Amino acid sequence: MTAKIFEFDRAIVREPAPSVVHGLRSHGQDDPTFEGIAREHAVYVDALRRVGLTVTALPPLPAYPDSIFVEDPALVFTDGAILLRPGTPTRANEAAELRDCLAAMFDVVRELPEGHVDGGDVLVTPHRIFIGLSDRTDAVGAAALVKLLAEFGGDAKIVETPDEVLHLKTAASLVDEETILATGALAATGIFAGFRLLTVPAGEEGGANVLRLNDTLLAASAYPQTLDLLATHVPELVALDVREVAKIDAGLTCMSLRWKGAIG
């Protein structure tokens, strides 16, 4: 694992299927449109390529409405990949759909042996990996993941999240090596002691999910105060419209798997 944890040159995405409009949601939002999600996903993939990532786009999986969110069923690092066990029954087989792709790209592919973990509950920072317990990630799965991450040189810590948090990264994201953006509720837990914390302005909690790629930070355009807060902390800030994606409880980090390829 590298100290420059947000340096990437490769990514995997999955194209959305029309069934994506039936994706999971926790707060009864309006239904998204397939056209809207497809448009936002295409702009997102273009943003990955613009900052220098080579993107592998996998075909849609109509049987799995949430499969566009490839970060939940797997984790990837320079040294290998881990297939997870998503904590929602409708997503249970998504990891298997990634197995062949990851096996072709990584020499080492491990599989979570028990329990449940969604990748959205795993926040990688330069010196520690946080695993948040949630409705999608249980204590058994988190403990098993701690052991697997140690194989890749990762020091992982299991943390509690507030009840209203869907995923850890719904409410917190890495901005730079020393800075985490978090909602007020998550910041107040103290789990990020030692980091500089930027607290999302009240009413813009949905803006806590941002994605650092090399020298660029991708953030949701729907949260202007959060964008102002972030503007002075990164070399380049790019605002993307993900309002349709947000209707199915998702954001910027979950739509790709990203890593730095091995040298040589």
Would you please indicate which residues are annotated as catalytic (active-site) residues? 167, 254
Among 233, 240, 225, which residue's Cα sits nearest to residue 177?
Answer: 233
Closest of 108, 80, 82 to residue 95, by C-alpha = 82
Q: Which residues, including other chains, have CB under 8 Å from residue 119's CB and lie 6 or more apart?
A: 71, 72, 73, 74, 75, 84, 254
Which stretches of 16-76 are DSSP H helices?
34-50
- The two three-digit tokens of residue 29, written as one number: 């939002």
For residue 220, what are the CA distances in angstroms to 47, 167, 226, 230, 242? Answer: 13, 17, 9, 11, 6
User: Which residues, 6 or more positions from 98, have their beta carbon under 8 angstroms from its beta carbon?
Assistant: 12, 58, 70, 73, 74, 83
Strand order in the sheet with 196-199: 172-176, 179-182, 196-199
CB neighbour list of residue 35: distance below 8 Å, 6 or more residues apart: none
Q: What distance in Å separates the CA atoms of residue 256 and residue 253, rounded to the nearest whole number?
A: 7
Collapsing DSSP states into helix, strand and coil, what is residue 60? coil
